[in-house]
Amino acid sequence: RLLIAQYTLQAAYHNAIDAGKTVMALLEFPLPSEHDAGEIDDEITEIQRILDQTKRATLLHAPALTQPTKIAAMQILETLLTPAWNIDPLLHRLIIAQMMRISLKDGHCPASATAYALYGVFVGSPYHDHAAANVWGALALKVSDLLQSPMHKAKTSCIVAAQILPLVRYIKESHRLEHDAYQIAMSAGEVHLAGVALTYRLAHLWHEGANLEQFLQHIAEFSAFTASTRDRYAAAVMTACQLIAHNLRGLTPDCQTFQTDTVSEEAFLQQCRDDRHTFAICAYYIMKARVLCLYGLFQEAQAALGRMKHLRQSMDGFLLCADAALAEAFCVIAKTADAPAEAR
């Protein structure tokens, strides 16, 4: 686990996944070397078969997972979630499915809370079953409480706040969970999770249409925290928001320039690519597209969206996907405005 975590912190995600696959093979839970969407559907079918034989209301009171090999497998799988999310979304979903099957068949462990929350994201976003997503998110929070795992309570609070609750509630209702996640993470010494909670807070302020001065103030405060913790992931998201806010405030030479006094768009994106910060790249291009639409620069907005299209699978459940869809709709309307009637 420490080796996988070390590779993950270094953004050496392929190495992390290779190490995880080696360990999982030793534990007799091999991860496939190749996988496709059909395997995901098979896993979902199997999970549904297990659920059909189990009352979901009784899952909270399922027995504890006691088999050492399966506990170890759950811990390794959980550690692999971040590298898989960054470079292999299909593997990420397969890992969630494996964690679900172990939890449903053999009992809870702290990592089960993570599995339930992410399964909620999965059924809520690609499968559009928002009510089921909400149920799984609530179960994840309760399991983390039941097993008295502060780290998992912080982690599941982040997931539910950012990827589940906005599907069924007003966005402002996510702030309580973000705050809880931050406080719990800090108390548990999980500064990376605290940074993640702050990035989600910032994203939600963007969606709420926060006053730009307030938005920039939050960026400054949160950036100071991420600098003190040397959290490159959270810092990348803060920088993305800063580039956008500076443009909107008219602090750049023109409306098509996105930069601050200390960082250019090119330098920011290159650093994100080097560190494989998928979320920061996607968030930046989506927010940039929305801003360009405000200026009536629809071709440029379409180009911005096209640059992160291959990364979209990593954005399941995030409201930024809705932002991207809205920007795409604006671009299509603009493109058809001057087209002949039959082409429209």
Please count the other Cβ atoms lying within 10 Å of the Cβ belonging to residue 262. 8
- The tens digit of pLDDT for each residue in 186-204 reads 998 888 889 999 999 999 9
Tokens 């071709």, residue located: 299
Roughly how many angstroms between the first and final C-alpha of the chain, as a whole number? 54
Whether residue 24 has pLDDT greater than 80: yes
Phi then psi for 88, rounded to 5 degrees? -150, 80
Task: Compute the half-sphere exposure of residue 108: CA atoms within 13 Å on the CB side of its CA.
Answer: 23
Q: What is the mean pLDDT of the segment spanning 245-272?
A: 94
% pLDDT > 90, the chain: 64
User: Is the C-alpha dihedral spanning 217, 220, 226, 232 positive or negative?
Assistant: positive
**CA-wise closest residue to 284 among 272, 300, 302:** 272
Position 12 scores a pLDDT of: 85
pLDDT at 312: 78
What is 118-140 written as a DSSP string? HHHHHHHTTS--HHHHHHHHHHH
Does residue 238 register a pLDDT over 90?
Answer: yes
Each residue's pLDDT tens digit, 64-111: 999 999 999 999 999 999 899 888 888 999 999 999 999 999 999 999
Q: Count Cα atoms within 13 angstroms, Cβ side, for 203.
A: 30
The pLDDT of residue 55 is above 80: no
Residue 56: its pLDDT value, please?
64
| The pLDDT value given to residue 219 | 94
Nearest-Å Rg of the Cα atoms of the chain is 21
C-alpha angle 166/283/202, rounded to 5°? 60
User: Burial level of 221, CB count in 10 A (0-12/13-18/19+)?
Assistant: exposed
**Calpha distance 230→126 (Å, rounded):** 33
Helix ranges (H only) for 53-190 are 68-87, 89-106, 110-124, 130-146, 150-159, 165-168, 174-187
Rounded mean pLDDT, 303-319: 86
Yes or no: say if 157 and 193 are a contact pair by the CB < 8 Å rule: no
pLDDT of residue 340: 84
What is the per-residue pLDDT for 231?
85
- Give the residue-averaged pLDDT of 246-257: 94
Predicted pLDDT at 57? 63
Q: Using 50, 70 and 90 to split pLDDT, how confident is the model at 276?
A: confident
Q: Does position 122 have pLDDT exceeding 70, yes or no? A: yes
- What is the C-alpha separation between 244 and 115, in angstroms, rounded? 33
- What pLDDT does residue 140 have? 95
d(CA 29, CA 93): 16
Of the candidates 204, 308, 300, the residue with the CA atom closest to the CA atom of residue 247: 300
Q: What is the mean pLDDT of residues 36-61?
A: 80
> What share of the chain has pLDDT > 70, as a percent?
99
Do residues 166 and 174 touch, judged by C-beta distance below 8 A? yes
**Tens of pLDDT along 317-337?**
899 999 999 999 999 999 888
Concatenated DSSP letters of 331-344: HHHHHHHTS-TTT-
Q: How confident is the model at residue 49 (pLDDT cuts 50, 70, 90)?
A: confident
pLDDT in tens, 126-174: 778 899 999 999 999 999 999 999 999 999 999 999 999 988 888 888 9
Question: In this predicted structure, what is the pLDDT of residue 36?
Answer: 74
Report the run of H or E that residue 32 belongs to, with start and end. Answer: none
| Contact present, 221 and 234 (Cβ < 8 Å) | no
Mean pLDDT over each residue of the chain, to the nearest integer: 90
* Distances from the Cα of 221 to the Cα of 36, 157, 212, 332, angstroms: 42, 21, 14, 38
